[in-house]
Chains A and B, each alone.
Chain A
Amino acid sequence: MDELDTKQPQDGALLVTPDATKAASKTDGAAGDGKAEDAAELLDEILEMMDLDVEVLIREDDERVVLDVEGEDAGRVIGKKGQTLDALQFLLNKILNRYPDGRRHIIVDSGDYRERHDKGLENLARREAKRAVAEGRVVTLQPMSARDRRVIHLSLAKFEGVTTASQGKGTQRRIQIIPARRGGRRR
């Protein structure tokens, strides 16, 4: 009897409901190092100094921290071509990952902006790759960030008949889409 009585509460404490376990595992391990909360707080502080009316939500999994900025001024937080979003993300990572221990990549997003942006890049890549093949000449894209170039390189990795390369330095680095056969249909 006594044994049972002392065991039961212990079992109860260990065997939490599946939902609670899920919630707990979200705050344990990699996802529970407080980094997401630190990042959200810091971003919130910066956005408040910029006098932007938004709130910061945390979308987190084991590998990455995604901060989702929502609200009336979300468009301003994204900025022209996502420039402001990228600047915020860059600074946040610089500040929070200053020390080698516990580094985690932080992504700043607003709704599905990054997903839509990547889809747009993939469409552009496909369209320009078709053109490179049809015209049989190298197509050079606008300068892009390393991240955006990577999206394009990856999306064209399996595209028949073209290879990709990067050319130029720093902010002027551009993707070149190179057709396997130059001169197009004539050859």
Chain B
Amino acid sequence: MDAVDAMRDLVAFLARSLVDDPEAVEVAVVEGDRAWVLELSVAEEDLGKVIGKEGRTARAIRTLLASMSARSGKRAVLDILE
């Protein structure tokens, strides 16, 4: 499986595990200039669940993505759509 697909799957999996409304979770993959952008959208009421206090949850997800990026050489950044 492509490295970017694996990253998208991980983001989707984590987001679905964190929110109250997993069916509203979507992750779009957009090719950017220097990196792939994973655009995460969730139900409005669940935004806080994927961002976390002081952005800690989002930061933890980004840390895992960075680890995957370092290995595959394909950089992906997480963008949480509000």
Partner-B contacts on A (CB < 8 A):
42, 45-46, 49-51, 76, 79, 83-84, 86-88, 90-91, 94-95, 98, 170-171
B18 at the interface (CB under 8 A from A): yes
State whether A79 touches B63 (Cβ < 8 A): yes
CB-CB < 8 A to A76: which residues of B?
Answer: 67, 71
Partner-A contacts on B (CB < 8 A):
6, 9-10, 13-14, 17-18, 52, 54, 56-57, 59-61, 63-64, 67-68, 71
A57 CA / B50 CA spacing, docked (Å): 28
Chain A interface secondary structure, helix, strand, loop or mixed? helix
Chain B min CB distance to A100 (Å): 15
State whether A87 touches B63 (Cβ < 8 A): yes
CB-CB < 8 A to B52: which residues of A?
Answer: 94
State whether B18 touches A95 (Cβ < 8 A): yes
Count of A-B contacts with CB under 8 A? 54
State whether B71 touches A90 (Cβ < 8 A): no
Q: Report if A91-B61 is in contact (Cβ < 8 Å); known contacts: A50-B68, A170-B54.
A: yes
State whether B63 touches A46 (Cβ < 8 A): no
CB-CB < 8 A to B61: which residues of A?
Answer: 87, 91
CB-CB < 8 A to B6: which residues of A?
Answer: 49-51
A42 CA / B14 CA spacing, docked (Å): 10
State whether B71 touches A95 (Cβ < 8 A): no
State whether A84 touches B10 (Cβ < 8 A): no
Q: Report if A50-B60 is in contact (Cβ < 8 Å); known contacts: A94-B18, A170-B54.
A: no
CB-CB < 8 A to A170: which residues of B?
Answer: 54
CB-CB < 8 A to B57: which residues of A?
Answer: 90-91, 94
CB-CB < 8 A to A98: which residues of B?
Answer: 18
CB-CB < 8 A to B17: which residues of A?
Answer: 42, 95
